[in-house]
Structure 1
Amino acid sequence: MTLLERLTQDMKAAMKNKEKQKLSVIRMVKSSLQYEEIKLGHELSEDDVLTVLNRELKQRKDSLHEFEKANRDDLASKLREEIEILEQYMPEQLSEEELLEIVKATVSEVGATSKADFGKVMGAIMPKVKGKADGNVVNKFVQQQLS
């Protein structure tokens, strides 16, 4: 079952079970997916769907950080629920050990030796870990390896 089919199925289930929050989040995601499909001009691949889901998740995490900084617990708790719902559709995250192994392998694969090769390494590694690791964590590990 594709991610898009799963979203549609879960949306129907949320309607039947009267889960307003889950239904709202899934509708927002499906809307973003439709917008992306129109923008790209073709049907979305599984990779494209993951990209959109990742973007939605990142936006909510950034907003959550801002709401927590402003002591808006009411809005922060709502966003935490939305993040929880979105994370159900994301692939399993890589552990730090697995991610570190991928970073080390990619650094040697690219032949990177200094911080000047940072962009080259990041460009090679991100497609490998797309949706499976946070970009900030990957960034940190790559910098550690290149220093």
Structure 2
Amino acid sequence: MSELKQRLSDEMKAAMRAKAKLRLATIRMMLAELKRIEVDERIELDDARVLATLDKMQKQRRDSIAQYEAAGRDDLADIEKAELLVIKEFLPQPLSEAELAAMVDAAVSNSGAQGMQDMGKVMALVKPQAQGRADMGAISQLVKARLT
């Protein structure tokens, strides 16, 4: 079992003991999504894939928050915000702007990218390093700015 999945399982037990309903429900939701992927693809998830899945769940929560707030449903937005906080606990520390810029610069020089046609090469180098630590949309914007 991956280290991150084990940590999620341990935190679920702790949430049960503490009777933290929202935290428990969110952790169960994360574990259920990981289990669904394992069953569908018949694989055992490693930490990198778990991080990618949690990152996707984080993005889904951000999108839901924006939609609920636009619709004036602050009650539902608050639930999504609470879930987002729990998900963030299991993701690595976010990268600072300087770290992100340095990572993009290194990827551009390592890939030998000359223009926008090489954006895929740069993103392929940056994505594994930044997974779960930065918004891929922001990274994409940074790469586009650097390549133009």
User: Structure 2 length normalisation: TM-score?
Assistant: 0.95
CA shift, 1:6, in A, is: 1.1
Amino acid aligned to 1:75:
L
Identity %: 39
The Cα of 1:47 is off from its aligned counterpart by 0.8
CA distance in 1 between counterparts of 2:145 and 2:34 reads: 35
Alignment of 1:11-50 (within 5 A): 11-50=12-51
Q: Within 1, Cα distance between the matches of 2:134 and 2:102?
A: 13
List 4+ stretches of structure 1 deviating above 4 A. Answer: none
Return the alpha-carbon distance in structure 2 between the equivalents of residues 22 and 145 of structure 1. 40
| CA root-mean-square deviation | 1.2
Q: Return the alpha-carbon distance in structure 1 between the equivalents of residues 144 and 52 of structure 2.
A: 24
Q: Which runs of 5+ in 2 are unaligned?
A: none
- SS at 1:32 equivalent: helix
Task: Name the amino acid aligned to 2:59.
Answer: K
Count of aligned positions: 147
Equivalent residue for 1:113? 114
Q: Deviations over 1:92-115 (max 9, x none)?
A: 111010010010010111111111
**Amino acid in structure 2 at the alignment position of 1:19:** A
Deviations 1:72-95 (A, max 9, x none): 111111111000010000011110
- Alignment of 1:132 with 2:139, yes or no, is no
Aligned to 1:95: 96
Give distance in 2, aligned partners of 1:71 and 1:78: 14
SS in 2 for 1:49: helix
Q: Does 1:71 align with 2:75?
A: no
Q: TM-score, normalised by structure 1?
A: 0.95
SS at match of 1:132: coil
Identify unmatched segments of 5+ residues in structure 1. none
